[in-house]
Structure 1
Amino acid sequence: MRGTSAFMADPLRHLAAWNQDRRAIRQFEPGRYVVADGELIRDVLASTTTPFEAKAATFGAVADWIPGSERTRPLNAALAKELDRAWHAVSPERITEELERSAGEPWPTALSGLYLRLFKEQLFPGLTGKQQRLLRQALDFSNRLDRDDSTMLQLRRRIAHSQAEAALYDWAAGRQEPGDIQEAMQRVVNSMDEVALLLHGLVGALCRATAMVMSWAALLDCGWTLGMPTGTTLKLEEPVHPAEYRVREALRLWPVAWLISRKVTQATTLSGTTLTPEDRLFLCTYLLHRDPDVWQDPDEYRPGRWENPPVGYKSVYLPFGFGAAACVGSRFVSQATARVLECWSALPDQKATLLTQNPAMGSLLAPPVFKFN
């Protein structure tokens, strides 16, 4: 998601200014537009081919993958079923054990590994220790790229991801009785190579996105606000609101999918703006979720607002997208995060120390790096 434009180089500064001068759509460089209106965003997201092309982030590496098509719907249904089963199967005791194991490690990277350990047996039974290490390594490189997109790190990430895909190929090819997810994948793609690509996309999306949401909720619970310097130590107070509300509010204030990209595939007009093929729209949930006409005190972390959310909020609260290309793991991310957050909040004497100052706004919106003492 990064680029050389002034906006991509310093998103937060521009978003703060645009939030004061709100427009439904604005051009920030030739052929590139930010959209911040709920109705327009839903209209764009409802399209998967023309006039706006959708690419599912999880499975975008597979050729000719059209989200929500007749071909892909059965896989989405199988995924939703298995993910629901996975988060129900993990006990609070196991979650607490893994959280204690992650003490002192930098978040959110530590949580990517935590979620892989928690759910690998449900989603990837029989995964070997070496295969798990390769998956964890690929996750770690993706997390590092959120803050450092140097050429060398990009190269090392590509190597790590190739090794992870090879590991998943070996795992899937070696199974005598494929599970529901693998069977559904094999029905909609042409080769085991593409099954491995799908599996790798699933691991990355679930472990990374869920780690980001959990890290945001935990950090906000500790009282973090934008601008706090590196080295600041924050103490968790006993939460007042249910974990579900805190997860919703974290996703409202700092949506992980903060900028959803869509390519224009045919000439069209959007809110009076003429668009041509190859133009690119960036649908900004960050701005949408901070609209002062919808949200009271929109820049404040207030989980209590979810006891009585504003009328019509569902049309302007889109942390997982909308329509056919919406995140198939949305229920898993929300409910698994709430479950882990409850266990984390019960641990005594939680203090977070900031290791970096600012969020990283790349393909995902990552919080400042921090660790618990």
Structure 2
Amino acid sequence: MLAGGSFLVTDPQLARTVLKSTTEPLRAESAPFGEIPGWVPGSASGRPATIAMATAIESALRESSPDRMADLLTEDLTVPWPVGAGELCLRLVVPHVLPNTRERLLSRYSRSLAALVGLAHDGSRVGRWKSRLAHSRTLSGLYGELERTDPGNELVDALRTVLDSKDEVTLAMDGMIGAACRATSVALSWALLLRAGWTPQTPAGAVLQVPPVPSGDPVREALRLWPPAWLLHRDVRQPIAIGDRKAEPGDQVYICTYLMHRRPQVWEDPEAYRPERWIDPPERYRDAYLPFGVGPAACVGARFVLDLSSRFQALRELVGAELRMIGTAPVMGPLCDPPRFVVSLG
């Protein structure tokens, strides 16, 4: 137990029990949809919209061919990552959830993503103002796109059915796009960094070279060491036992997947980057591996993140690429953001 009525959970089985509750006795708030009044992750009323979101993301994944990804990768290599990876994701996802999207909206999303990543690395007052302004402009553009969307779009129709206003539909659509693209940009960046040999001791200005794809599963290993959802949260709504402690209404429960993924009881040499460990993963590893959470409030785009990251890892254009480090350390904010870097293809 932490100070001030807070609990930190790192035990895998207890963490899964906690995360499966999203209403009572423990309540979850989904950050991408937190601005929507009454939106409760996993609720029966919101389930059709959640299913439609997953279907739309799956459609984008099916259309993400290696050639298309390679073309997007080389469009602008001057944009530092993870923003560069996020732009790649935006151009894969947005046209599938909103066909005939105007370029102006994609440009606004790019600026909003850049401001959000910048805010993660520099939490200044100016950074917060830029992020809010960029997001406001993106919402305005998205509202206009949705106004142009006729009935027949499965995702938009589902949102219009379960939400009360056009504003809420816009917020939900923005939350889904933002969650999928932001999480994927972080996962892509971590997978590429670790494959190239980055460690916490790598200095700014260092140049790393991307080797061929290693054996095992470099994406799952990257997400084990640096899970995007590194710290999950629940509000206590009713008295409940958290392990051998008693939690009361108003207390806070935190689940730290960063620590869980490094438990020596599960993972041999847990601090080391070893993709080959996934050829024969340890017994009961599933209990102790939650890079996107679990249960009704888990990341709706988890499969998209994993599959797209794996496809991206295998791109032949990446072998021999150079990564020039701009930053030096991860930022443990709402997501576990990697240090920024620029990609240069040979």
Output the TM-score relative to the length of structure 1: 0.89
Q: 1:371 aligns with which of 333, 342, 345?
A: 342
Deviation string 1:92-121 (CA, Å, 9 cap, x unpaired) is 111111112242321101111111122222
The Cα of 1:43 is off from its aligned counterpart by 1.2
**Residue type at the aligned position of 1:190:** D
For residue 178 of structure 1, report the CA deviation from its aligned partner: 4.2
After TM superposition, give the deviation of residue 161 of structure 1 in Å.
1.2
Report what 2:10 is aligned to: 36
Distance in 1 between residues matched to 2:24 and 2:54, nearest whole Å: 27
2:9–2:255: 8 Å Cα contact kept in structure 1?
A: yes
1-structure distance, mates of 2:41, 2:247: 23
CA distance in 2, matches of 1:81, 1:372: 31
Q: SS at 2:296's partner residue? A: helix
CA displacement at 1:56 relative to structure 2: 2.0
Q: CA deviation at 1:202?
A: 1.1
1:30 maps to a residue whose letter is G
* Partner Cα distance (1:251, 1:86) in 2: 22
For 2:331, the equivalent position in structure 1 comes to 360
Corresponding residue to 1:179 among 138, 153, 158: 153
Structure 1 distance, partners of 2:150, 2:241, is 52
Q: Is the 8 A contact 2:93 2:177 kept in 1?
A: no
Are the counterparts in 2 of residues 255 and 319 from structure 1 also a CA contact under 8 Å? Answer: yes
Q: How big is the shift at 1:159? A: 1.9
Kindly state the Cα deviation for residue 60 of structure 1 after the two structures are TM-superposed. Answer: 2.0
Aligned to 2:301: 329
Structure 1, unaligned runs of 5 or more: 1-25
Contact 2:36/2:168 (8 A) holds in 1 = yes
Match of 2:255 in 1: 283
Which of residues 180, 194, 202 is equivalent to 2:176? 202
CA separation of 1:34/1:102 partners in 2, compared to 1, >3 Å: closer, same or farther? farther
Of residues 222, 225, 242, the one that matches 1:250 is: 222
Pairing partner for 1:297 from 240, 250, 269: 269
Separation in 1, partners of 2:102, 2:43: 34
- Structure 1 residue 165 and structure 2 residue 139: aligned? yes
Q: Residue 186 of structure 1: CA displacement? A: 0.9
Give secondary structure in 1 for the equivalent of 2:214.
Answer: coil
Identity of aligned residues (%): 38
Shift in Å at residue 219 of structure 1?
A: 0.3
Residue 210 of structure 2 contacts residue 318 of structure 2 at CA under 8 Å; is this kept in 1?
no
More moved, 213-222 vs 89-98: 89-98
The answer to whether structure 1 residue 351 and structure 2 residue 322 are counterparts is yes
Work out the CA distance in 1 between the residues paired with 2:132 and 2:218.
Answer: 35
Name 1:9's counterpart in structure 2. Answer: none
TM-score, scaled relative to structure 2: 0.95
Q: Secondary structure at the match of 1:146?
A: helix
> How far does residue 348 in structure 1 lie from its aligned partner after superposition?
4.6
Alignment coverage as a number of residue pairs: 344
- 1:49 and 1:250 map into 2 onto residues whose CA distance is 31
Counterparts of 1:3-18 in structure 2, within 5 Å, are none
Q: Which deviates further from its counterpart, 98-107 or 353-362?
A: 98-107
Q: Deviations over 1:47-100 (max 9, x none)?
A: 111221111233222111121121122222222222111111122111111112
Q: Which amino acid aligns with 2:161?
A: R
CA-to-aligned-CA distance 1:109-159 (integer Å, 9 cap, x gap): 111111112222212212112222222221111111111111222122112
